[in-house]
């Protein structure tokens, strides 16, 4: 994979560009993709943003989100766009299989593939150019850096700023995670000086939930949360019936895994959700416990040192049992 700086001299030549992200995109994936889209459009490129799946409704306020193509809904149209692209920017994921059903057409596409990502162990052979930096707080911060390095920060506007702020703010846990470096605060300072109204973005992301979601959270915390204090661990296991009962939509389970991590003494928190076709897992940790390695070893996943995900085709009860066994095997590191 060649350095992304090698592309800078080509940015003045208009091209057909696809920007894509991981499945079930969060605010960082969507925000970084839309921020980059708006920037490249100003340079004269034709841009299509394609999400592998649907996304949470609380992201729809982002400038440009109305034009994002849902691959699962418009597969034929999306395939045609991908196969005719000159460049494909891959944001907030570093392995093609993170795009679910879209991975096959991405691997076949003749376009130059460009990676911008901050996750561990990138599939470097899949990308011609790119930057992979695990020290960065978010992909949104990396897109901001990309814009700065191109020498065209003069065309950065409030629409771009809103998208990038949403990504960096959420991926840093509202600036409380260890990845919140001085450069993050400098970026936010610059965006606010431009006129960014940060409180409005917080309201759009965190104050637009349904009554069902609030009642669902109460149900989950009272009925589905288990503690294993001997391992400093907490687990939430959500059934398909829970999702149906509370009419849970994409994004409604976002952030739930962080609730038990706020309890004194808990070093590892996990959530396992029965999605029907598979069981999805999210892991969060504090201190020295590496959930990236944990997810990779036991649950076909990966991510960051303190935040990772995985999946399994086993039944929910089997996945829960596998999680408890895995925690027991890691007892010395959780003590």
Nearest alpha-carbon partner for 139 in 110, 99, 166, 175:
166
**198 and 219 assigned to the same domain:** no
Query: d(Cα 20, Cα 55) in Å, to the nearest integer?
Result: 13
Count the Cβ atoms, other than its own, within 10 Å of residue 66. 8
Paired tokens of 316: 């929910």
What pLDDT score was predicted for residue 121?
A: 87
Residue ending a domain, among 206, 225, 260, is 206
Q: Find the radius of gyration of the CA atoms of the chain.
A: 20
Only one residue has tokens 């069902």, namely: 212
Angle between helices 198-206 and 158-171 (to 10 degrees): 60
- What are 207-222's pLDDT values in tens digits? 988 999 999 999 999 9
Does pLDDT of 240 surpass 90?
A: yes
Could you read off the pLDDT of 289-322 as tens digits, one per residue?
999 999 999 999 998 999 999 999 999 999 999 9
Token output for 289: 């416990």
List, for residues 106-126, the tens digit of each pLDDT value.
999 999 999 999 998 899 999
Q: Starting at the edge strand that comes first in sequence, how are the strands of the sheet with 307-312 ordered? A: 225-228, 233-238, 268-274, 279-285, 307-312, 302-303
SS3 assignment, position 281: strand
| Domain-terminating residue out of 148, 173, 206 | 206
Segments forming the whole domain that contains residue 262? 211-334
Number of domains in the chain: 2
Same domain, 12 and 135: yes
pTM (2 d.p.): 0.90
């Amino acid at each position: 994979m060649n350095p992304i700086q090698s592309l800078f001299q080509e940015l003045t030549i208009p091209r057909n560009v696809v920007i894509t992200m991981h499945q079930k995109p969060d605010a960082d994936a969507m925000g970084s993709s839309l921020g980059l889209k708006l920037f490249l459009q100003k340079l004269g490129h034709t841009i299509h943003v394609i999400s592998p799946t649907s996304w949470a409704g609380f992201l729809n306020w982002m400038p440009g989100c109305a034009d994002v193509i849902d691959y699962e809904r418009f597969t034929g149209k999306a395939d045609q766009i991908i196969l005719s692209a000159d460049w494909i920017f891959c944001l907030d994921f570093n392995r093609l299989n993170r795009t679910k059903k879209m991975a096959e057409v991405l691997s076949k596409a003749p376009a130059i593939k460009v990676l911008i990502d901050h996750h561990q162990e990138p599939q470097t052979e899949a990308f011609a150019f790119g930057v992979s930096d695990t020290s960065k707080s978010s992909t949104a911060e990396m897109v901001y850096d990309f814009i700065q390095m191109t020498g065209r920060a003069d065309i950065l506007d409030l629409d771009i700023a809103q998208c990038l702020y949403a990504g960096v703010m959420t991926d840093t846990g509202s600036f409380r995670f260890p990845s919140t470096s001085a450069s993050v605060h400098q970026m936010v300072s610059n965006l606010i000086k431009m006129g960014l109204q940060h409180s409005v973005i917080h309201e759009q992301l965190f104050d637009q939930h349904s009554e069902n979601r609030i009642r669902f959270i109460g149900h989950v915390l009272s009925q589905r949360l288990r503690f294993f204090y001997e391992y400093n661990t907490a687990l939430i296991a959500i059934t398909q019936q829970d999702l149906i009962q509370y009419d849970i939509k994409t994004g409604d389970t976002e952030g739930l895994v962080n609730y038990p991590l706020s309890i004194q003494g808990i070093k590892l928190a996990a959530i396992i959700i029965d999605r029907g076709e598979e069981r999805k897992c999210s892991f969060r940790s504090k201190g020295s416990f590496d959930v990236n390695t944990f997810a990779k070893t036991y649950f076909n996943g990966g991510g960051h040192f303190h935040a990772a995900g995985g999946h399994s085709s086993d039944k929910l009860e089997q996945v829960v049992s596998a999680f408890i066994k895995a925690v027991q095997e890691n007892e010395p590191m959780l003590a």
